[in-house]
Each structure stands twice: as structure tokens, then as C-alpha cells.
Amino acid sequence: MNVPNRGDIIHLQFDPASGQEMQGEHYALVVSNYHFNRSGLAFVCPISQGNAQYARSLGTLVTLMGCGTHTQGAIHCHQLKSLDWKIRQAKRKESVPDFILDDVQARLDAILSEE
């Protein structure tokens, strides 16, 4: 795979995982930029289609419904991870529209800021 870029949806293995972390194969949204991702690592938010009532109550999900992507489900901003995309054999599927990336970034900012 070529180096993933910010806004790409990739498919990769999340195992090993523990606790409340997503396990198994999932799609994920790449939120780190191309220059960082060249290191072999990338920051990603997993995408799932499962019932995530707790995450919904936190306001940390961004839906892909109706945005024009083939990939459907919800982006889990509260499960931001740094993963080795090379070792996990990530495969690029598509990119999200800018408004989805902006929404994810706003939720990450809210999670990570002191305010």
C-alpha cells in the first residue's frame, strides 16, 4: 500500500487489542497527515456498524450515512489510535469528504482540549 493520507479510509487488523478497544478487522479513518504517516505509523479512528450507545451519549461518533462513501458506519473519535499501518497490512479503500474530516477533527479537539 502507498502511504495513507489524512482523510483516507483504510482496512486493517486492530488485534492485538484489550478491554474496550475494538478488536479484529475494521475500517478506520486516517487523521494524521501524509508526512507523519511516512514513518509507518498513522493516527486512525476506527469505523464500526455496531450499536455504540455509550459513544453516542458522549457525542464522539461521526456518521458516514449519506456522505457519499461506499463505507458505512460510524467513526469512533474516542478510540483514536496510533497504529503501524505497514505491519497491519492496511489497504486503502476511499477518502471521506472534507466536511466529515472537519467534523472528526472538531470532536478530537473537544476530547483533547482542556476547555
Identify the structural domains of the chain with CATH numbers, from first to last.
8-110 (2.30.30.110)
Q: How far apart are CA 27 and CA 9, in angstroms?
A: 6
pLDDT band at 15 (very low <50, low <70, confident <90, very high): confident
Q: Tens digits of per-residue pLDDT, 38-56?
A: 999 999 999 988 766 666 6
Strand-pairing partners, residue 10, are 28, 92
pLDDT at 56: 64
Residue 112: C-alpha distances to residues 75, 77, 78, 108 (Å):
17, 11, 10, 6
pTM, two decimals, is 0.89
Determine the average pLDDT of the residues in 4-32: 83
> Before 16, cis peptide (omega within 30)?
yes
pLDDT at 65 over 80: yes
